[in-house]
Chains A and B, each alone.
Chain A
Amino acid sequence: MDQKRKIKQAIAFFFIRSSVFIISAAILLVIGFIVIHGYKAISWEFLTKQPTDAMTKGGIFPAIIGTFYLTLGAIIVAFPLGVASAIYLSEYARAGRVIRIIRLGINNLAGVPSVVFGLFGLALFVVFFGFGSSILSGSLTLGFLILPVIIGASEEALRAVPQTYREASLALGATKWQTIYKVVLPSALPGILTGSILGIGRAAGETAPIMFTAAAFYTTKLPKSVFDEVMALPYHIYVLATAGTHIEETRPIQYGTALVLISLVLGVNLIAIILRSRMRRKHSY
């Protein structure tokens, strides 16, 4: 009888361990293939030169710059909104119907498919406001997309500030706002910034939201204003891999671009993870 129970447990644990193995192997496989095929394409010229010969040769500099501008724009949009929303949720709101509805709104916003964000950005920014396909339209769309990420991370950071800090400040005669501004925010700032870094990673890797709002198939000139179209790394991969007549010929460029993109995104996430663990050591309340 006992033997039977032990065998059952062994079988169950085998499946559980296999599942972890399958997931880890898949991640290594994806990253491994991209690194192995991509590293040969990477060179100083690849990173700093324009594409040439109908994008079959040359570099991806405009796509790197485009992704940089779009991501920067998204953070400029989402950071103030997200941190302020989190301050309301964590410091001002009392449990009740209002906060329930706001949370439902945030959760649903987080669940909106990325292509729907693209449609929304097209209808509102590109067409209705007349911004055209531009850095501005793309940044606003991406900014709204990452807003829930920033709110979530900021709220967590604010809630991690010990209640005694607030009480001490209030006891000294500070108002609520002074307490938030001078005590709570400075303590929560590292956590808030870490969360924003995760938002950067997310914005840099998204494709569908910028397809109709910002991304250009090919531009020879670098953007001069926020109303210009830009190339972007994720869209560049998609375009080279699916469109045109040189799909096989440009395979090395595709791998190279994919490698640059995952290095960027994973690098950003790694920075966030390291910062987070450093912070935990420093602020062991």
Chain B
Amino acid sequence: MVGSSLRRIKESIIRNIFFFIGLASIFILTLIVVFLFKESLPIFKVVSIKEFLFGQYWYPTSEPPEFGIFPMIVASVVVTILASALAVPLGVLSATYISEIAKPRVKEIIKPVIELLASLPSVVIGFFGMVIVAPFLQETFDISTGLNVFNASVMLAFMAVPTISSISEDALHSVRRELREASYALGANRWETISRVVIPAGLSGIGTAVILGMSRAIGETMVVLMVAGGAAAIPESLFDACRPMPASIAAEMAEAPYHSDHYHALFATGVVLFLATFVFNLIADYVSNKYKQTGTATL
């Protein structure tokens, strides 16, 4: 009897240990929030939140300094929207191909290839954008610099495609077979079945995929740091240089003296970026739970 109750105590201790380690992700996420806010709050003694978010000028080292990140917010929004405009059709269509059209043998090649794209380090994509795409754009369009909004958007799109493609493919793949068969039985051809039955049935998963792809694009750092051109002004054309938020942080953090206003302002930019991706992820989570698939598998 003593042995069995000892055993029970031991089991419950082990269970609790795993429970606490299971909370590690939430603990880390909390730490991230706490330290981002802690390091960014002092800047709001210097500028108001409104001035910070909507201020047009970013001169962190001038006298007096200006801490307005509006141009960076606009740049982030612009490159993210343009990148999505490219990545969403490419991602969803390639997912449709893999899930609905490709023969098994072709599928076995295409799927790993797209996973390969996901595993390419962002610094390599950024490097490619800098040394190959930029000079090409400069010559083709006869512009002053190839490091601009357009280049950054294209490179970002390729970083977002694998995310969108693989999650969309899961969603399409989990649409029940019976739905397809019913559609064929009614005389629909393959494209009609795909466009009117399969894609609508997988729409919540595709929605999740798109949101997570955009989240990936807005937070991606090395590509925009190397390719966007770096000008802290609101871009007026596709071929203007710009500086999205991650680029601003990465480029200046090394030079910002510890606990200076500049340092705090960069952390505050990090908070804005973090909140943007946090909201994207919450929406993605909500969409995938609210509109649960009518398939056997879930996301």
A positions within 8 Å CB-CB of B: 5-6, 8-9, 12-13, 15-17, 19-20, 22-24, 26-27, 30-31, 33-34, 81, 84-85, 87-89, 91-93, 101-102, 104-109, 111-120, 122-124, 127-128, 144, 147-148, 151, 175-177, 198, 201-202, 204-208, 211-212, 234-235, 237-238, 241-242, 251, 254, 258, 261-262, 265-266, 269, 273
Contact = CB atoms under 8 A, between A and B. Distances in A.
Given A5-B189, A30-B128, A273-B112, A13 B101 contact: yes
A23 B120 CA distance: 13
Contact of B123 (A31, A105, A120, A234): A234
B232 to A, nearest CB: 16
Contacts of B117: 23, 26-27
Contact of A107 (B96, B253, B281): B281
B119 to A, nearest CB: 5
B29 interface: yes
Interface string B1-35: 00000010011001101110111111011011001
18 contacts: A5-B189, A12-B191, A20-B98, A23-B114, A26-B158, A33-B128, A88-B19, A102-B23, A105-B25, A113-B277, A115-B219, A115-B249, A118-B250, A175-B7, A205-B119, A211-B253, A241-B226, A262-B121
A111 to B, nearest CB: 4
B131 interface: yes
Contact of A20 (B15, B94, B253, B266): B94
Contacts, number: 252
Q: Which of A19, A108, A120 counts the most chain B CB atoms within 10 A?
A: A108
Interface string B90-108: 1001101110010000000
A115 B161 contact: no
Contacts of B132: 33
Given A119-B249, A208-B122, A258-B127, 5 more contacts: A31-B120, A107-B281, A205-B119, A207-B122, A254-B131
A123 B90 contact: no
A119 B25 contact: no
B11 A34 contact: no
B297 interface: no
A14 to B, nearest CB: 11
Nearest to B266: A119
A238 B222 contact: yes
A120 B267 CA distance: 9
B143 interface: no
A30 B97 contact: no
Given A115-B221, A273-B112, A207 B123 contact: yes
B28 A23 contact: no
B35 A92 contact: no
B212 interface: yes
Contacts of A204: 121
A244 B15 CA distance: 55
Given A23-B94, A124-B35, A266-B119, A116 B25 contact: no
A281 B170 CA distance: 23
B274 A93 contact: no
Tell me if A's interface is mostly helix, strand, loop or mixed.
helix
B280 interface: yes
A234 B221 CA distance: 13
Q: Which of B35, B117, B194 counts the most chain A CB atoms within 10 A?
A: B35
A266 B112 CA distance: 11
B181 interface: no
B22 A30 contact: no
Given A22-B90, A122-B253, A237 B15 contact: no
B204 interface: no
Given A13-B191, A20-B94, A124-B31, A265 B120 contact: yes
A9 B191 contact: yes
Interface string B200-238: 000000000000100110111110011000000000000
Contacts of A117: 32
Given A115-B249, A241-B130, A30 B124 contact: yes
Given A16-B97, A30-B125, A120 B226 contact: no
A204 B120 CA distance: 11
Given A81-B24, A148-B25, A205-B123, A6 B189 contact: yes
B258 to A, nearest CB: 7
Given A16-B93, A20-B110, A92-B18, A237 B281 contact: no
B219 A34 contact: no
Contacts of B130: 241-242
B132 to A, nearest CB: 6
A252 B219 CA distance: 30
A116 B119 contact: no
Nearest to A83: B21
Interface string B259-299: 00000001100100110011011101100000000000000
Nearest to A235: B123
Contacts of A34: 124, 128
Given A88-B22, A109-B29, A207-B222, A119 B122 contact: no
Contacts of A30: 120, 124-125, 128
B177 interface: no
A237 B258 contact: no
A23 B280 contact: no
B10 A177 contact: yes
